[in-house]
Amino acid sequence: MSDSSPSTGSGRSRAPPTRRRLFEAVVVREVRTVVRARSLLLLAATLTAVVVGITWIGDGFTAGYLPSIVDLLTPLELLVPIVAIAFGYRAILGDQQRGELDVLETYPVSARELVLGVYAGRAIGLAVTIAVALAIAAIAIAVGGDDPVRVYASHSGADSPILFARFLVLTVLFGLAVLAVAVAISAVVSVTRSALGLSVVALVALLVGFDLAIVYGLAEGIVGDADLLYTLAASPLSAYRGLVLETTVIVASGTGPRVASPVASLVGLVIWTVASLAVAVWAVGR
């Protein structure tokens, strides 16, 4: 953004909109789209209901933050990708279908800025959706804990809201990585039906495909024992799971074999995000 010229401070609005303003306009428009989309609001409400419901069924309210994380981890591995895909799979495709893409192309906005803007806007919506759902669960846990038996001295052990905050942050990051995949899909395809189809393919690959591939690799000896920790980072689900286990559950359960390489897993998620966005930029720029 080094091109922001000093002239923008002059107050004259006749000057052509700067690239930064265009980027901002795209972001703001995406956020508005997300907020207006009733289906996405419904999705957010559903996610919240499921998260709170699982916390309740699993007795997380009384047990504490860490048990709730353990209960939520697997369901969120399945749900977050679905929600993220729903948030993103028509993002750019929609613009294209409504002809807005053609309009936007008349502005001096590059494919990169367009994709980043769309992604940023949707990302805000998705992040808020996930964060609100988990924050409500966290509040429920904070308020809902049952009193320990009073005749004994009690303490909170390793349990802490900090752990739940880590879980929240990691879940948002995971969601953002899958959202990037969704945006890439929406940029690559040209009709809704194929967007839906490709999204389902992507979901299947994400939810079971990559993990099964790693299992196969391990069974066949393609993935060596020493490599598994890093191979896990290649599958977004495993990367996310490993990060959550490593930064929360291990705090309480202590010693044992390592469950994840946090750096590798984090890099894995970042690569998925960046690569997907790069594909989207390439597709839009076609």
Could you tell me which stretch among 97-105, 154-162, 189-197, 225-233 binds another protein (CB under 8 A)?
Answer: 154-162
8 A C-beta contact, residue 189 and residue 195:
yes
Length of the chain as a residue count = 286
Question: Per rule CB under 8 A, is residue 54 in the interface with another protein?
Answer: yes
Question: Per rule CB under 8 A, is residue 71 in the interface with another protein?
Answer: yes
Question: Per rule CB under 8 A, is residue 224 in the interface with another protein?
Answer: no
Question: Per rule CB under 8 A, is residue 162 in the interface with another protein?
Answer: yes
Instruction: Name the strand (E) or helix (H) holding 19.
Output: helix 19-36
d(CA 63, CA 142): 10
d(CA 110, CA 105): 8
DSSP 17: P
Least distance CB 62 / another protein (angstroms): 6
Over the Cα atoms of the chain, what is R_g? Answer: 22
CA distances from 20 to 28, 29, 96, 208 (A): 12, 14, 22, 40
DSSP 89: T
Q: Binding marks (x or -) toward another protein, 165..204, rule CB under 8 A?
A: xx--x-----------------------------------
Question: Per rule CB under 8 A, is residue 57 in the interface with another protein?
Answer: yes
Among 34, 66, 181, 239, which residue interacts with another protein (rule: CB under 8 A)? 66
Among 3, 14, 143, 149, which residue interacts with another protein (rule: CB under 8 A)? 149
CA distances from 27 to 31, 124, 127, 157 (A): 6, 9, 14, 43
d(CA 13, CA 27): 20
228-267 binders of another protein (CB under 8 A): 247-249, 251-255
Closer Cβ to another protein, 185 or 232, answer by number: 232
Among 152, 193, 225, 226, which residue interacts with another protein (rule: CB under 8 A)? 152
Least distance CB 63 / another protein (angstroms): 5
Question: Per rule CB under 8 A, is residue 70 in the interface with another protein?
Answer: yes
d(CA 141, CA 56): 9
d(CA 157, CA 47): 30
Q: Which residues form the interface with another protein (CB under 8 A)?
A: 8-11, 24, 54, 57-59, 62-64, 66-67, 70-71, 73-75, 78, 146, 148-149, 151-160, 162-163, 165-166, 169, 247-249, 251-255
